Structure 1
Amino acid sequence: MSPAEFLTDLFNPDLAFLPKALLIAVMSSIVCGVVGCYVVLRGMAFIGDAVAHAVFPGLAVAFVLSGSLVIGGTVAGVLTAVLVAVFSQNRRLKEDSIIGVFFVAAFALGIVIISRAPGYAGSLQQFLFGSITGIPDEDLFIVAGTGLVVLGVVLVLHKELVTISLDRETARALGVPVFWLDLVLYVLVTLAVVISVQTIGNILVLALLITPAATARLLTDRLGVMMVLAPLIGAVSALVGLYVSWSWDFPTGGTIVLVLTAAFLAAWFLAPRQGLLSKALATRRDATGTPPVAAAGGQGVDGPV
């Protein structure tokens, strides 16, 4: 299928689910790309996977009650995030241990709840791997509104979130309210995951949160540039992934993840300064005695990552 044919399908009234899927995929990619920068900086990729498990009981309850999946997942994820933030204050257990207990328990609860619903197997597959055909119109507005809230909070608390992402102990010593900022970050991750689940699925949503930010991290040392590149990479990958999946009848969520992974691998090998090829060339220049080219630029206004 050519891009022109894909564009025609987007405006076909009989395929109304396709533009809705594209809008939600792009919106969720932008939100995940921004929030994912903090997750990557803090080295807490596990929290993204755990949150994807935590929202599952809310999705299951919403499905059984024929309610909004976005609202159901948000409520479950936020409640679990609050429990983790509270219990993590006990220094005898590390944060990852608390996350492992509560988020897996939440996922297990979701499995039990969804198993009581009619059409259990099909429902479970939709939650785990995403579905582009069953997105209600009202979810477009919920996702858009939720995304604006997340981006607004990020704009207001950017410096504080960067501080706790880079060095929580120093932040605590400086009097920064680490507990409340941890809670805010958990909630932001939860909201980013929830609005992405319907398109990409519960299992694959971690890629939308981590891979664009990790790719951007390879391309720049400046946080401001990284936070622009990450959502851009995510949105473009969502568009390309949806186009490929629609053209060749591939699963949408898996295709988007593979496109994201391809972008990451391209950056890994070809990034101007951090790419494997650039490092190999630099090593070769050093070995032959050729003076290396001076690194361009310095620390930006927002400093290096």
Structure 2
Amino acid sequence: MSKNIDNIINSLNEISKSIDKIRNDHKRIDKKLFDVYKCFIWDSKFNTIRPVKKINRININLLIGIDSAKETLIKNTSFFAKGLTANNVLLWGSRGMGKSSLVKAVHYEINKKINPNLYLIQLDKNDLAAIPFLLNNLEDKEKKFIIFCDDLSFENTNENYKSLKVMLEGGLEEKPSNVLFYATSNRRHLIPKSIINDDDNSITSYENIDEKISLSDRFGIWLGFHKCSYDQYNNIVLNYAKQFEIDFIKDDFLSEANQWSINRGSRSGRVAWQFIINYCAKKNIKII
């Protein structure tokens, strides 16, 4: 009987070791991937990063009307790529004005022109708890990493902001100097106004909200993106047409572009791009 129990215990121990090995394999970052790929996405299913083989980005020259933000992000990323001090960045503001497109375009330009060992890792806002693991595994004297979170925001019950605080400020343990955090958000303070204006006046509720609002203050650089004016929208459309060498009659072309924005109920860089896609398809013009 005792022998059978010992065998069962030994078998359970072996199973436990196998499970631990699988778990560790899933969590291990294969550093050889950095020799081949420049962009990665955090895969929450396997608790590791996976390479992006075909990157969804547009040429930085197509991003117009956001010159100040573009210049600031290029400079900050250049400093970082050169091994100088740089800030975490929050890109906030109107939808469709090129926040995430700018991050991806700037990374590409700096990687190509300044430092080929600059990497971009996209992290979903629901996976911020992975930040400590990434910080522990990305420390490298030769490589630079930008952790990028698109559409970052927090609801009242979301506790992921605590992991983000570690990224932005560090804790007792110093965070690696070769990792930066870039985030985009439609909300300047990262939480909806409905929560800020909540009637719950309890001390606990107020402190939780105040702590989340203060997160945005921990970004060294804020870049604001605002709604398109009529002229800015027309300039974006014309710039797209120029870049893709599209022949058109200006008045008719802009008339169509503005009717498109009216039908959409908004003007933005995204709406302008969607108009170009539709216009070129109607004219049998291939641009992609």
TM-score with structure 1 length normalisation? 0.20
The structure whose Rg is larger is 2
TM-score with structure 2 length normalisation? 0.21
Higher RCO (CA 8 Å, separation ≥ 6 residues): 1
Higher fraction of strand: 2
